[in-house]
Chains A and B, each alone.
Chain A
Amino acid sequence: MESPNVSGVLDSKIPAGPLESKWEDHKGHLRLVNPNNKRKFTIIVVGSGLAGASAAASFGELGYKVKCFCFQDSPRRAHSIAAQGGINAAKNYHNDGDSVFRLFYDTVKGGDFRSREANVYRLAEVSVQIIDQCVAQGVPFAREYGGLLDNRSFGGAQVSRTFYARGQTGQQLLLGAYQALCRQIDAGTVTMFPRHEMLDLVVENGRAVGIITRNLVTGALDRHAAHAVVLATGGYSNVYYLSTNAKGSNVTAAWRAHKRGAFFANACYTQIHPTCIPASGDYQSKLTLMSESLRNDGRIWVPKNPDDKRSPDQIPDADRDYYLERKYPSFGNLVPRDVAARNAKSVVDEGKGVGPQKNGVYLDFADSIRRLGRKTIEERYGNLFEMYDKITGENPYVVPMRIYPAPHYTMGGLWVDYNLMSNVPGLFVLGEANFSDHGANRLGASALMQGLADGYFVIPYTIGDYLADFLNAKTPTDTDAFAAAEAEVRAGVDRFLKIQGKRTADSYHRELGRIVWDYCGIARTAEGLRKALELIPALREDFWQNLRIPGGSAAVNQELEKAGRVADYFDLGELMCRDALDREESCGGHLREEYQTPEGEALRNDEKYSYVAAWEHNGAGKAPTLHKEPLAFEAVKLTQRSYK
């Protein structure tokens, strides 16, 4: 493999001054667009999840003309809806010592010191406004008997700062943003395009000026021009095929933007959630997460003897290995997500896995039920136990749950500066689709916070500063750039249909996912990554020769939609492996087996790898160029995590 070029062309535009006043000062100096002029600007928003819906609604309220796109049949279906746990905010309602600084610090530390201090501080700062906004919209957060908002401690945090709506926090927050969006659609400021998929970004004179979309009902390709394009298209966990993401979640919009010049950053930072229901067979289409709160009362174990055929309740304590309690006596079953995931993988790899496929570990509530009574466990986890029973047909009050890690969230994404603008002027990226706030690992209840922070409270300010230069600029679609982009998209669609081979898009996706999971999943090695970098191009070659897409392009064709997404996963999977190979250290969700402490903890190399790796696309078949944005830490001291 060619060695990556290294160059320094990135300007993160972090404002000067002390950390605590950067955002306030910056807001005070950003240029504004006069209220009467806002309607002269068109903004495209792609994606209608927490980040996209909140941004589109806020732009509409300000008076901009907005075109919002989603591939689902309604903006309310975006995958933010499936988030269970909650949303963090530094309200300090519990008087337990929380503060903006502490939320900032926990997020930077949780990200294993691979995120930008200034971005994270701003995130913690606006977190309190998010809660106010959502409550005013009617989001029914959990409340105490006195009528005030309830909080819980989540994901190992030492303060109670997580706001929640039973196990459906994402749903309620998304419906709040969706309703705000609906109000703007009714007011005529936002035009909604459901069942539309973005298939290309149009760049003219170095600026993002629009997108090409495919109407998923009629197959029509359309040109949409705007003064700015905002991508809020989510993460790429589905590169693994099996993940907790929705089936439609995809990297296509972000990847097509990458191919048009936007740098893709930290692709190898993926989060594998430790508590999901293991796959039950080769028909498995997705994995389902079980909230990690279960680890508060469940004990994780496997039989000491891998060939133990007894049912779990017949295996005495002496023959069980409570491996997390054994290896991490002080944190036990509550070690962070990455540590729990990695240990589950090692015991299963050793052949000690449980269940018919030997692909899980037990999460056992028998002790807690004895100690607290079944009723208490039911109150705490009733809905989760019910969900588990529904999916597996096993009653977890009687038989221990079986769990295994699954890809859940991707910290990497398109590179953005402090204003959330990519290196392509006019292209902004929000939420999970950008790389900005979680470093190498995301803390629980922080994804919802970031999506809404970006959409409600950051982009409405920063986009005006960019737009101010383009007052009265025309937005034609009959230009060479639009024509060329549309022709390329059309050729791409036709190419899929012409192959007429033997294998389905899903079968390739499964095989690709297996490669990425095996070599760029929970644990990575240089040897494995090099192997993946041979396997992926070989499989891709076969994909382009042997794919079968039925039907045509002028109607609903779900296989055609899949093919485009799988093609992009091939390229992304390759970049993930390159990025993981380049990063010769372990940090957060990225564990390189060669770089561990003697206790098996992730070993960072701050001297060499304290940078954001932003990759530039150089065309198909060519090695991408690595651009490094150095990370400087002024407010926090870098430490080694320890959970012994």
Chain B
Amino acid sequence: MNLTLHIWRQGGPDQPGRMVRYDVKDVNEHSSFLEMLDVLNQQLIEKGDDPIAFDHDCREGICGSCGFVINGEAHGPLPKTTVCQLHMRHFKSGDTLHLEPWRSRAFPVLKDLMVNRSAFDRIIQAGGYISVSTGSAPEANLTPIPKPLADRAFEAAECIGCGACVAQCPNGAANLFTGAKVAHLNLLPQGQAERETRAVGMVEQMEQEGFGSCSNFAECEAVCPKGISIDNIARMNRDYLKAKLQGVNRLVVVGA
């Protein structure tokens, strides 16, 4: 199949960017979207052009490295699918596709389709963990956890941190990402001791990073490759409000 691609090209964080047109010929329908770009990049290098930079690693939809917007949809048109798992058979010859990086104030573009998502790491650092130092854990079966509860925690924990939720949100909010981690840990008995400080720390960090506010568009849930539910956002909001009403502040952690 033949495609017309319009791809965002930007040399570096402080440089202006623009859409550049590429006509791609003889794309194999069984190749993945990233393999299609690989082939284009090989051709660009052979012609002496600069290849298109994009983040990717496992290409199995689990590491969360890849992702860009295809015709306005984060990760492209297939539900619950990262762009590395999207295959060309879902497109038609003659299609025109616009490829853009995640657009969010909190995710500055580094080059082309590659963005800086370190804001996500800092949200986790603000409380997205259970404080249990190596060696101090009790026997694992000491605390039975009802299976339905464990399953709910697992479903929240499936988040791959790709950033599609932020990219698709009209406000650029990170509430689904943050809510998923708050919910995963706050649902479990192990997470109760830090339930309030976790919610406060993570929500406040999220706001500091420049993400927008959630206004319940639910676009995030629609594009999430792992199908994370917006129920997790409600859970986070409840824990956050409760904690704030009790005057809880972010935990200040100091090293040993």
Determine if B125 and A183 form an interchain contact, defined as CB atoms under 8 angstroms apart: yes
Asked if A74 is an interface residue, CB under 8 A from chain B, the answer is yes
Taking CB atoms and an 8 Å cut-off, the chain A residues in 167-225 that contact chain B are: 168, 171-172, 175, 178-180, 182-189, 192, 194, 217
Determine if B144 and A137 form an interchain contact, defined as CB atoms under 8 angstroms apart: no
Determine if A61 and B256 form an interchain contact, defined as CB atoms under 8 angstroms apart: yes
For residue B139, give the distance in angstroms from its CB to the closest CB of chain A: 6
> In the docked arrangement, what's the CA distance between A148 and B62, Å?
27
Number of interface residues of A (CB under 8 A): 89
Taking CB atoms and an 8 Å cut-off, the chain B residues in 127-145 that contact chain A are: 128-141, 143-145
Determine if B255 and A246 form an interchain contact, defined as CB atoms under 8 angstroms apart: no
Binds A, one of B40-48, B92-100, B165-173, B210-218: B40-48
Determine if A82 and B185 form an interchain contact, defined as CB atoms under 8 angstroms apart: no
The chain A residue sitting closest to B36, CB to CB, is A283
Binds B, one of A127-135, A614-622, A634-642: A127-135
> In the docked arrangement, what's the CA distance between A180 and B134, Å?
9
- Measured as residues with beta carbon below 8 angstroms from the partner, the interface class of chain B is 35 or more
Determine if A175 and B42 form an interchain contact, defined as CB atoms under 8 angstroms apart: no
Asked if B174 is an interface residue, CB under 8 A from chain A, the answer is no
> In the docked arrangement, what's the CA distance between A604 and B139, Å?
41
Q: Which of B35, B62, B129 is within 8 Å of A180, CB to CB? A: B129
For residue B19, give the distance in angstroms from its CB to the closest CB of chain A: 19
Per-position 1/0 for B30-57, Cβ under 8 A of A: 1110111011001011101111010111
Determine if B138 and A132 form an interchain contact, defined as CB atoms under 8 angstroms apart: yes
Secondary structure dominating the interface of B: loop
> In the docked arrangement, what's the CA distance between A244 and B14, Å?
36
With known contacts A81-B63, A246-B63, A507–B42 Cβ distance under 8 A: yes
> In the docked arrangement, what's the CA distance between A391 and B87, Å?
7
Determine if B85 and A390 form an interchain contact, defined as CB atoms under 8 angstroms apart: yes
Most buried by B among A74, A165, A168, A392: A74
**Residues of the A chain whose Cβ atoms lie less than 8 Å from the Cβ of B141:** 93, 148-149
Per-position 1/0 for A278-311, Cβ under 8 A of B: 0011011110100000000000000000000000
Determine if A288 and B124 form an interchain contact, defined as CB atoms under 8 angstroms apart: no
Determine if A135 and B137 form an interchain contact, defined as CB atoms under 8 angstroms apart: yes
Taking CB atoms and an 8 Å cut-off, the chain A residues in 117-152 that contact chain B are: 129, 131-138, 140-149
Taking CB atoms and an 8 Å cut-off, the chain B residues in 58-107 that contact chain A are: 58-60, 62-65, 81, 85, 87, 89
Q: Which of A72, A147, A180, A555 is within 8 Å of B145, CB to CB? A: A147
Determine if B53 and A558 form an interchain contact, defined as CB atoms under 8 angstroms apart: yes
Q: Which of A182, A387, A460, A502 is within 8 Å of B121, CB to CB? A: A182
Per-position 1/0 for B3-45, Cβ under 8 A of A: 0000000011000000000000000101110111011001011
Determine if A91 and B140 form an interchain contact, defined as CB atoms under 8 angstroms apart: yes
Determine if A182 and B129 form an interchain contact, defined as CB atoms under 8 angstroms apart: yes
**Residues of the B chain whose Cβ atoms lie less than 8 Å from the Cβ of A283:** 28, 31, 35-36, 38-39
**Residues of the B chain whose Cβ atoms lie less than 8 Å from the Cβ of A507:** 42
> In the docked arrangement, what's the CA distance between A72 and B39, Å?
22
Asked if B245 is an interface residue, CB under 8 A from chain A, the answer is no
Asked if B247 is an interface residue, CB under 8 A from chain A, the answer is no
> In the docked arrangement, what's the CA distance between A76 and B133, Å?
19
> In the docked arrangement, what's the CA distance between A135 and B154, Å?
12
Determine if B153 and A138 form an interchain contact, defined as CB atoms under 8 angstroms apart: yes
Determine if B140 and A186 form an interchain contact, defined as CB atoms under 8 angstroms apart: no
Asked if B243 is an interface residue, CB under 8 A from chain A, the answer is no
> In the docked arrangement, what's the CA distance between A551 and B130, Å?
44
Per-position 1/0 for B187-199, Cβ under 8 A of A: 0101100000000
With known contacts A283-B38, A504-B42, A556-B110, A76–B253 Cβ distance under 8 A: no
With known contacts A81-B63, A136-B190, A393–B110 Cβ distance under 8 A: no
With known contacts A61-B256, A79-B57, A247-B56, A74–B34 Cβ distance under 8 A: no
With known contacts A73-B116, A559-B45, A186–B56 Cβ distance under 8 A: no
Determine if B144 and A146 form an interchain contact, defined as CB atoms under 8 angstroms apart: yes
With known contacts A136-B137, A183-B129, A556-B110, A145–B45 Cβ distance under 8 A: no
For residue A85, give the distance in angstroms from its CB to the closest CB of chain B: 13
For residue B106, give the distance in angstroms from its CB to the closest CB of chain A: 14
For residue B133, give the distance in angstroms from its CB to the closest CB of chain A: 4
Determine if B63 and A77 form an interchain contact, defined as CB atoms under 8 angstroms apart: yes
The chain A residue sitting closest to B56, CB to CB, is A247
Determine if A192 and B121 form an interchain contact, defined as CB atoms under 8 angstroms apart: yes
For residue A175, give the distance in angstroms from its CB to the closest CB of chain B: 7
> In the docked arrangement, what's the CA distance between A39 and B256, Å?
8
Asked if B249 is an interface residue, CB under 8 A from chain A, the answer is no
**Residues of the A chain whose Cβ atoms lie less than 8 Å from the Cβ of B49:** 550
**Residues of the B chain whose Cβ atoms lie less than 8 Å from the Cβ of A186:** 125-126, 253
Asked if B120 is an interface residue, CB under 8 A from chain A, the answer is yes
Asked if A116 is an interface residue, CB under 8 A from chain B, the answer is no
Determine if B138 and A551 form an interchain contact, defined as CB atoms under 8 angstroms apart: no
Q: Which of A74, A187, A285 is within 8 Å of B161, CB to CB? A: A74
Determine if A73 and B255 form an interchain contact, defined as CB atoms under 8 angstroms apart: no
- 22 A-B contact pairs sorted by A residue (CB < 8 Å): A63-B255, A75-B121, A136-B132, A136-B138, A138-B153, A138-B188, A140-B154, A140-B188, A143-B147, A182-B124, A246-B59, A247-B56, A280-B31, A283-B31, A284-B31, A284-B35, A285-B38, A288-B60, A390-B87, A502-B46, A504-B46, A558-B51
Given A182-B121, A391-B85; 11 other pairs, CB 8 A cutoff: A58-B133, A74-B64, A74-B120, A77-B65, A145-B147, A171-B158, A284-B35, A393-B30, A502-B46, A558-B51, A558-B53
Taking Cβ atoms with an 8 Å cutoff, the residues of B that contact A are: 11-12, 28, 30-32, 34-36, 38-39, 42, 44-46, 48-51, 53, 55-60, 62-65, 81, 85, 87, 89, 110-111, 114, 116-118, 120-121, 124-126, 128-141, 143-147, 150, 153-154, 157-158, 160-161, 184-185, 188, 190-191, 253-256
